[in-house]
Amino acid sequence: MIRVVVDREPIDVAAELALIEREGAGAVASFTGLVRADAGAEGAVETLELEHYPGATEAALRTLADEAVTRWSLAGATIVHRVGPMRAGERIVFVGTAAPHRGAALDACAFLIDRLKTDAPFWKREVRGGHGTWVEARDTDEVAARRW
């Protein structure tokens, strides 16, 4: 099973885990990303607005999930990503993998979260103190993606 969802609705982690656990594998790994407050010189993040290119974003995520399933012989992979406005502490992404053994599940989960940061067409805009700024890609994201 491969499940890819890009949606404005909140992510129900328990429901997503229940779906991936049904694959009957020996191990399930997951990652849940949250919107950070990152209080800096400009103040805390009030909102994070995430935009995407419909169709292209889902296709990019599906390509990554297909690669993970093939590379680690997964029983299943799930990527759920939010778009639209979100507040600090809200869930922005869920990645789940099911595999016969923990090593494959953990590696595939790390691969998916590292690569979706660089390979999926999302644009982030942080609003702090009433002013919005676009978030640039980080060098550390590129380094993490290249290890795979």
pLDDT tens, position by position, 5-33 = 999 999 999 999 999 999 889 999 999 99
Identity of the residue numbered 97: T
State yes or no: pLDDT of 46 exceeds 80: yes
Q: How would residue 44 be classed by pLDDT, with cut points 50, 70 and 90?
A: confident
Rounded distance, CA 49 to CA 84, Å? 5
State yes or no: pLDDT of 138 exceeds 90: no
Residue in this structure with the two tokens 């939010």, named with its chain if needed: 82
In sequence order, what are the beta bridge partners of 110?
none
- At the top level of CATH, the class of 2-146 is alpha beta
Residues 75-107 as b or e (16 or more Cβ within 10 Å = b): bbbbbbbbbeebeeeebbbbbbbbbeeeebbbb
Identity of the residue numbered 92: I
Model pLDDT for residues 70-113, shown as the tens digit of each residue = 999 999 999 999 999 999 899 999 999 999 999 999 999 999 99
CA atoms within 13 A of residue 76's CA, in its CB half-sphere:
23
